[in-house]
Amino acid sequence: MAKLLKTQITANPLTRFHQATKFGTKNKYGCKRTTQNSRFLSGAGSIRAVISSSEDKNVITTSSKVLQKNGLATSSPMIDVKAAITIRKKMKEKLTEKIEDHWEALINGIGKGIVIQLISEDLDPVTGSGKSVETSVRDWAPKRLEHSSYLEYVANFVVPSDFGYPGAILITNLHNKEFYLVEIVVHGFSDGPIFFSANSWVQSRNDNAQSRIVFRNQAYLPSQTPAGMRDLRREDLLSVRGNGKGERKHSDRIYDYAPYNDMGNPDKDDDLARPVLSGEGRPYPRRCRTGRPPTKSDPYSESRIEKPHPVYVPRDEAFEEIKQATFSAGRLKAVLHNLIPSLSATLSSSDNPFTCFSEIDKLYSDGVPVNCDQETKSIFDNLLLPMMMNKALSAGQKLFKYDIPAIISGDRFSWLRDNEFARQTLAGVNPVNIEALKEFPILSKLDPAVYGPPESLLTKELIEGQLGGMTIEEAIESKSLFMLDYHDMLLPFIKKMNSLPGRKAYASRSVFFKTETGLNPIAIELSLPPTPSSPNNRRVYIHKHDATTYWIWKLAKAHVCSNDAGVHQLVNHWLRTHACTEPYIIAAHRQLSSVHPIYKLLHPHMRYTLEINALARQSLINGGGIIEACFSPGKYSMELSSAAYKNMWRFDMEGLPADLIRRGMAEEDPSMPGGVKLVIEDYPYASDGLLIWSAIEEWVEAYVNHFYSDNHSISSDVELQAWWDEIKNKGHSDKRNEPWWPKLKTKEDLSGILTTMIWVASGQHAALNFGQYPFGGYMPNRPTLMRRLLPVEEDPDYDCFLRNPQLAFLSSIPTQLQATKVMAVQDTLSTHSPDEEYLGQIHLLHCHWINDTEILRLFQKFSTRLEEIEEIIKARNCDASLENRNGAGVPPYELLLPLSEPGVTGRGVPNSISI
């Protein structure tokens, strides 16, 4: 006979939850750590349902009439079971929505709103499916939980004692609109409350006739699926794959693939046409399919949806309300920072350069005045908080000041120094391109018939003249020479880039020499495409101390920084994290059931990525978008990104240790974190990153070993193999025939693949994203484009350069409007949302993510290790011997500190690519 749940109740739901889970206190970031459930938690107060013991009933024998009503014909003893259904409402509801809530409560009260069906893990011998019992929510007055946005409804079941253990719930929404289902907690079975975590939108039956399947929080490999759940497991996967046809609706939950064919808008303007990124010529990862019709001008390009209309993503991938508010605020800020300088500088007819450095400083000190003309007012009327903004505008205040970026907050002139230029290759926002110089002479791999002689002008004599008596061979052998090489990546695009108005760029190579005092640049080579009169169209620059060479050297460094900014944004940030991760997420939803242990492991690392990528395609990387307007490659930006994918990207090199070894920045050493020893010990990104990497690796290996007993269990896992096969053959189909794809036959194979994916979504993205404003918010430090080539003596403007080199420098970097645009975007992209979930944390809404005490213990170990890493990084930042992260005016390297508060902090490692 079933033993019924006995639960002590108190008046406060939050207190009840504390009794059930024994929570600890908040840390300074507002995050909670469990002491029993062994997980980080964050979020609002408790929303978990706990049923009063006074409502529990004893086991009873029920009449056949009641049994038939519940769909069961049995004479077995019966038990009363209760399901507590938690639904999240909007935090800020309109009056009409509040009225609708009352109407919905009425409909639920009469049992016409929500139908719930409990499915057993055991088979019904008559139907051949899981035993089932159905009821309706009949709750006139739902309980409002600790957080006012959450309501708890109760549904009652009567089930036979031989029903078995519930494995799934089917929920049908009879209302006219969707609702957000947080979870269902079933009470009355012998093993205590059973959790069915949903965190999903349930559509009205009018929009989707299928009932939503919600599984309990137990992980099963496909071969271990209880018999009563097998059909539901297959049906649930089929329901999210779609048929590859038709345009997707906002309410859909369909995951499918499409090429990057929605970047341009040829129907609007011929100049906004963009090539499709797909196939051998322009390969690229796949994005989430929206199914929009083709453009009228180009049948291969998909028509666009412009703001404010949303781009389709599967319904559960959309930003939640807190994230929406944060992103809207950031978008608002970007628009204002774009609009205000353009008005204040009267740029309707021309776009002015900065004429002195004090004009840049005023962005942080004085703010920007705004004249609220009719055009400005109409823009503000369409933005959030128009009353507040209009009030401020009418007061004539200098409203907007940029925060002082970290790079100049301690030392305003640090960006001028060579050692700072070099330091940022190791501890800046793009620390992933510097490589050891392994061979000499330096040779291009480009076709010499098209791009000129392969030999670099960085000759042995020139470089050895900067080595203090050391030969090149000795420097290479001692691993003292390093290079930032953008020559082959950029040279094929330079002619097209320089044909754009206001753009002048070179393909660059920079050589650095490591001495006892640190890393320093010793030579820069700037190349243009060959011409008939200049087949070797290159120049080399070195640092000298006369005034003219000093300014020329400064301009050469600015061109290198501009190239670095473009490669960072388009290749390392967008391509290697955002774009390449999207297929992993689509394949996971299509091929891994939500009860698959690998789906449960990956789920926190997929949050918000499809939505932020869709927004980027709409406003940032699209034809005429912010990236094209503000970065050197302009309209060729995504073609450059595609070329980098074709020539450089390979999955097996995306893990941190493999990447460091490939660049010659580390050597194999099994005794060290990540199994590698750094060539430059004071390499903050790598040394901190290897701590994060090794923690993820240890957690993933333990997780995999827990669920997979041997290698055969890997190769026989049909869902897992289908997932990996789809990533290669559909998600990255343009690379499907590459020999370097890892095999998936052993536990070690799986652990390596998962560690790489989680690292890219968490640590790698954090290191490349959240320093954008701290390093790029001061435009001279990282100009995103250059508008003039370096002055040479035969140029007519050379005398102007000699008379005023400062003006020549400022006239070469972005204009005031371009600078303020990109600063606003960088500020937005560097911002943590209040609902951010950081590595090693589980959000309160997901705290019942798995019913496995050993996994919870392993996760606690992972979480504790990340706490230790935080303290290690803080200690490193206080170590005076580590000059790349400590010293007068040097900002500490905090990009890989695991936790952060909201805002632009220059720290924090979120679980997923969410901004």
Question: Measured between alpha carbons, how far is 445 from 711 in angstroms, rounded to an integer?
Answer: 41
**Cα dihedral sign, 578-583-586-592:** negative
The pair of three-digit structure tokens given for residue 38, joined into one six-digit string: 């062994």
Q: Which of 733, 578, 563, 701 has its CA nearest to residue 632?
A: 563
Residue closest to 131 by CA, chosen among 2, 210, 232: 232
Task: Reduce the DSSP state of residue 790 to 3 states and report it.
Answer: coil
For 490-503, b/e burial (b = at least 16 CB within 10 A) is: bbbbbebbbebeeb
The residues with which 32 forms a beta bridge, in sequence order, are 26, 41
Look up residue 591 and give its two tokens.
């091929």
Q: Output the CA–CA distances (angstroms, integers) from residue 601 to 236, 701, 711, 725, 774, in the order listed.
A: 19, 12, 19, 19, 32
362 neighbors 344 (Cβ within 8 angstroms): no
Q: Which of 769, 877, 884, 911 is catalytic?
A: 769
- What whole-number distance in Å separates Cα of residue 100 and Cα of residue 94? 10
647, two tokens: 């020539």
Examine the residue annotation and report whether 573 is marked as an active-site residue of this protein.
yes
Distance CA 3, CA 281 (A): 66
175 vs 198: CA distance, rounded Å: 18
3-state secondary structure of 191: coil
- Of the candidates 187, 559, 578, 843, the residue annotated as catalytic is 578
- Over 625-675, what HEC string results? CHHHHHCCCHHHHHHHHHHHHHHCCCHHHCCHHHHHHHCCCEEECCCCHHH
Report residue 730 as tokens: 């559909």
Is 99 considered catalytic here? no
Q: Dihedral, CA atoms, 60, 64, 67, 73, nearest 10 degrees?
A: 120
Burial class (CB in 10 A: 0-12, 13-18, 19+), 537: middle
Q: Which of 765, 832, 843, 846 is catalytic?
A: 765
3-state secondary structure of 118: strand
Taking the alpha carbons at both ends of the chain, their separation in whole angstroms is 53
* CA dist list (Å): 484 to 123, 426, 890: 63, 11, 22
Q: Which of the residues 573, 596, 843, 846 is marked catalytic?
A: 573
For residue 544, the one-letter residue type is: K
The answer for residues whose C-beta is within 8 angstroms of residue 378's C-beta and 6 or more apart is none
Q: How far apart are CA 334 and CA 284, in angstroms?
A: 29
Calculate ∠ Cα 773-777-781, nearest 5°.
Answer: 120
Residue 590 is classified by DSSP as H
Alpha helix positions (H), 89-131: 95-109
Q: Which of 702, 580, 587 is nearest to 646 (CA)?
A: 580
Contact indicator for 112, 83 with CB cutoff of 8 Å: no
- 724 near 753, Cβ under 8 Å? yes
Residue 769 among the catalytic residues: yes
Q: Which two tokens stand for residue 912?
A: 């997923």
Query: Residue 190 and residue 184: Cα distance in Å, rounded?
Result: 17
Nearest Cα residue to 228 out of 280, 162, 166, 273: 166
Instruction: Say if strands 481-485 and 435-436 run parallel, antiparallel, or are unpaired.
Output: antiparallel
What are the backbone dihedrals phi and psi of residue 682, each rounded to the nearest 5 degrees, phi first? -90, 65
> Residue 223 has what DSSP assignment?
G
Q: Where are the alpha helices (DSSP H) in 89-193?
A: 95-109
Burial of 802 (0-12, 13-18, 19+ CB in 10 A): middle
Residues marked active site are found at 573, 578, 765, 769, 915
